[in-house]
Amino acid sequence: MNLTPSEAAAWFAAAAPRLSKLRDRDLFVLPPFPAIAVARDALAGTAIAWGAQDIHPDDAGAHTGDVSAPMLADLGCRYVEIGHSERRRDHGEGDRLLARKVAAILRWHMTPILCVGERTRRPLDLAIRAVTGQLRGALGRLDAAALDALVVAYEPVWAIGVGSQAAPLDHIDAMHESIRRWLARRGAEATRVIYGGSVDPTNAGEIARLEHVDGLFVGRAALDPDAFVRIAGVPVDVRSERWGRIASAS
């Protein structure tokens, strides 16, 4: 819940000309609802996509204050984030609701970005158990084609927020590998798994180059357009067309 539409316009004026030069990776931004139209106007004609930070699972109805998939699709959104730890914490959102949101996003031909992550720092096996439980609850009924159409954002809750630090590199890579194994067992071949959690210009490159990391999901650091441009432009080795690199600001 940062940046008014006017502030977002200034952000795009500073960042978009430089971001549009990065043609070897996918970039997208997820501004608050009032600034989505600002993003659309600022990014028209570029390869940079835009999207939203949440969605209601129904297409229309008596849900005052909520925003639906057709509304977002009409604004040209390509991505929709769901399941962020703050939504889970502040609004009590659970996996069953998230499964309905995933279905709505896919129904309107947008890309769901499902956030998963353990709440507290714990041994790797327990972290994997917590995250695979979230995956099973939100995505367990999807076929391989639907799984390939979404993005999973691994964000350990203990690595998010002011004063936090990114998870250790070996933990990040192991968690991404376990998420990919869970997806592969269900036939998925192209689901991208990206990392979020205190990504900044000092650690973005080393995280992005980890073997099992397909991209970055940037939060707090992205509020500074100069910082996000630096993060989005980190050198990466694209290992195959299937695992194209991706970076985002939300």
Catalytic residues: 84, 155
Distance CA 236, CA 102 (A): 29
Sheet strands (E) in the chain: 26-29, 49-52, 79-82, 111-116, 151-154, 192-196, 215-218, 246-249
Contact 134, 102 (CB under 8 A): no
Contact 206, 185 (CB under 8 A): no
Distance CA 108, CA 101 (A): 11
Closest CA to 146 of 108, 191, 177: 191
Which strand (E) or helix (H) includes residue 95?
helix 95-107
Distance CA 247, CA 172 (A): 16
Q: Name the one residue in this structure whose structure tokens are 């971001």.
A: 19
Within 10 A of 130 (CB to CB), how many other CB atoms are there? Answer: 17
Which strand (E) or helix (H) includes residue 50?
strand 49-52
